[in-house]
Chains A and B, each alone.
Chain A
Amino acid sequence: MRLWRRKNREQDLDRELRSHLELEAADQQEQGLAADTARCAARRALGNVTRVKEQTRATWGGALLDRLWQDLRYAARQLKRTPVFALVVVVTFAVGVGANAALFTVTNAVLLKMLPVHHPEQLVIVGVVGPEHGQPRYAMPYTAYERFRGRNQVFSSVLAYADADPTARIGDVADRVHAQLVSGSFFQTLGVDTILGRPILPGDDNAGAMPVAVISAHFWQQQFAAAPDVIGRALPLNGISFTIAGVVNPRFPGIELGSSPDVYVPISLQSRLDPGSLQLQSSTTWWLHIVGRLRPGVPLRQAQASLGPVFQEFLRTAVREAPPDIPQGMKDEFLRQQVVVSNGSAGLSHLRRKFREPLLVLMGAALLVFLVTCLNLASMLMARGVARHREMAIRPPGRASYLSY
């Protein structure tokens, strides 16, 4: 519409100026000039026609948009004239932007994003440091978890989990799956729900609990074609028939970033999944990750101070119950372990601990490379600007502005 009107106006102006020239030439001829001299005189009197047209167009409004459109077309023509340069610029930018986007995605997932659970800022990870005060280990015996669950004033609830890789038999295919043994408090503490069926519940902690399994939405889609009647079906794990009780909300990718379990099973079934091991009774097998939800307003420091005595009591009990043939030095060392509490809002991620610094360095490097790229492109453009020196030199005499084309 607009362009059509503009074309009309353009023809209109053309016609108007042409008739002016004709009339003026006729006037001059009447005063005795020869036909072609008269035409020249008329042109002289009017001035630079292109300039007049330009100035008239400027009064039409929308000049800014027209100018912009002209600039774009000019830029496109320039790029077409130097395709190699254009290609280099495009590829450079594509690589720079792509690398940055990719790295940021990873950095975001590993370092920045919070767990998609209820109040992630209240979650803390319970770990232990040895007498040599090295890096904390985030592993605890089940008996320690029971103590933390029973006797503390700082957590509103505590969960425990451990990884396992049982063999699942689906149809005729047997395959290892990524499973997590979770305490009955796991889903409730995190505030994660299911889209089908029920999650693992505190009732599943009892010694005689039924073998139930809760599967991830991904696993449900992959192995069961998202069948709506999957609840109640059997899922044999390590030869034991588990009953599928629920499908986890896909918004929850798993408590550890970078590892999404296929199946969740109650921790009470540990010894049935792994016959012969009695890890639930052991006080010296450090295999469980413990995550607590702080009561509102309790700071990290207070949580640690409060858990200290509970943990010491657990250690003393463990030493008391230890077989008598354990050397005293070993027991002393065992007793000098201390509990530590750290922030778990971004998920209990080994990736996070391991890759934090390398990732930041990489991210920084990618940004720097991109900056250098931009600088290089800028200097290339400047070099081209010098090459356009002659073009710029003829602009003012031609009464074209430097900026419009």
Chain B
Amino acid sequence: MPKKSSDRIELLQGTLDMLILRTLLFGPAHGHQIAKHIQRTTDDLLQVEHGSLYPALHRLERKGWLAAKWEAAGKDLKREFKYYRLTPAGRKQLTAEESKWKQMAGAIARVMWPAKEG
């Protein structure tokens, strides 16, 4: 069951792109799969409004980090879904964003819990 909305954390600005790129590292997926994956991996802690996913996907596609294609899927391949796939440029972007995120998280940690150093 989903958690109560008061327990959820709003996504930090700018991190959705990174999460999408990271999710697609496993292979192509359509919008609904991406949303579900992010929700499931974070135990429903991160609140990704499904609606905000699509503008982000289209933006990433326009920047050339994702490629999209309609492909048949489902039990008998009767329905088509728009599958997003990471491009080489997207892979590079993911690395860049990841290291940026690590630096920021580290910096925040050093301010919040300074004792561990000395």
Q: B-contacting residues of A (Cβ < 8 Å)?
A: 12-13, 15-17, 19-20, 23-24, 27, 31, 45-49, 51-52, 55-56, 58-61
Instruction: Give 8 A-B contacts (CB < 8 Å), ordered by A residue.
Output: A16-B31, A19-B79, A47-B49, A48-B51, A52-B51, A55-B51, A55-B54, A55-B55
Of B31, B35, B51, B79, most buried by chain A (CB within 10 Å of CB) is B51
Interface size on B, residues (CB 8 A): 19
Residue in contact with A20 in the complex, picked from B50, B58, B80, CB distance below 8 Å: B50
Cβ B51 vs Cβ A47 within 8 A: yes
Cβ A17 vs Cβ B54 within 8 A: yes
Residue in contact with A59 in the complex, picked from B30, B58, B82, CB distance below 8 Å: B58
Cβ A51 vs Cβ B58 within 8 A: no
Q: Total contacts A to B, CB within 8 angstroms?
A: 57
Q: Which residues of chain A are within 8 angstroms of B31 by Cβ–Cβ distance?
A: 16, 20
Q: Which residues of chain B are within 8 angstroms of A60 by Cβ–Cβ distance?
A: 58, 62
Least CB distance from B114 to A in Å reads 40
Cβ B32 vs Cβ A13 within 8 A: no
CA of A349 to CA of B35, assembled, Å? 84
Cβ A20 vs Cβ B55 within 8 A: no
CA of A23 to CA of B79, assembled, Å? 11
Q: Which residues of chain A are within 8 angstroms of B80 by Cβ–Cβ distance?
A: 19
Q: List residues of B (70-86) whose CB comes within 8 Å of A's CBs.
A: 79-82
> What is the interface of chain B mostly: helix, strand, loop, or mixed?
helix
Which 8 residue pairs of A and B lie closest in terms of their CB atoms, listed nearest first? A47-B51, A55-B55, A52-B51, A59-B59, A23-B32, A46-B50, A56-B55, A59-B58
> What is the interface of chain A mostly: helix, strand, loop, or mixed?
helix
Q: Which residues of chain A are within 8 angstroms of B50 by Cβ–Cβ distance?
A: 20, 24, 45-47
Q: Which residues of chain A are within 8 angstroms of B32 by Cβ–Cβ distance?
A: 19-20, 23-24
CA of A31 to CA of B30, assembled, Å? 21
B52 interface residue per 8 A CB criterion? yes
Residue in contact with B52 in the complex, picked from A15, A47, A61, CB distance below 8 Å: A47
Nearest CB to that of B33 among chain A residues? A23
Cβ B51 vs Cβ A13 within 8 A: no
Cβ B62 vs Cβ A19 within 8 A: no
Q: Which residues of chain B are within 8 angstroms of A48 by Cβ–Cβ distance?
A: 51
Least CB distance from B69 to A in Å reads 11
Nearest CB to that of B63 among chain A residues? A59
Least CB distance from B47 to A in Å reads 10
Residue in contact with B54 in the complex, picked from A23, A31, A52, CB distance below 8 Å: A52
Q: Which residues of chain A are within 8 angstroms of B1 by Cβ–Cβ distance?
A: 31
Cβ A16 vs Cβ B82 within 8 A: yes
Q: Which residues of chain B are within 8 angstroms of A16 by Cβ–Cβ distance?
A: 30-31, 54, 82
Nearest CB to that of B61 among chain A residues? A59
Of A13, A31, A46, A60, most buried by chain B (CB within 10 Å of CB) is A46
Least CB distance from B42 to A in Å reads 15
Q: Which residues of chain A are within 8 angstroms of B30 by Cβ–Cβ distance?
A: 16, 19-20
Cβ B79 vs Cβ A56 within 8 A: no
Residue in contact with A13 in the complex, picked from B52, B54, B59, B81, CB distance below 8 Å: B54
Mask: chain B, 1-32; 1 = CB below 8 Å from A; 0 = not: 10000000000000000000000000000111
Least CB distance from A291 to B in Å reads 71
Residue in contact with A56 in the complex, picked from B35, B36, B58, B82, CB distance below 8 Å: B58
Nearest CB to that of B50 among chain A residues? A46
CA of A100 to CA of B50, assembled, Å? 59
CA of A46 to CA of B59, assembled, Å? 18
Residue in contact with B82 in the complex, picked from A15, A51, A55, A61, CB distance below 8 Å: A15
CA of A19 to CA of B31, assembled, Å? 9
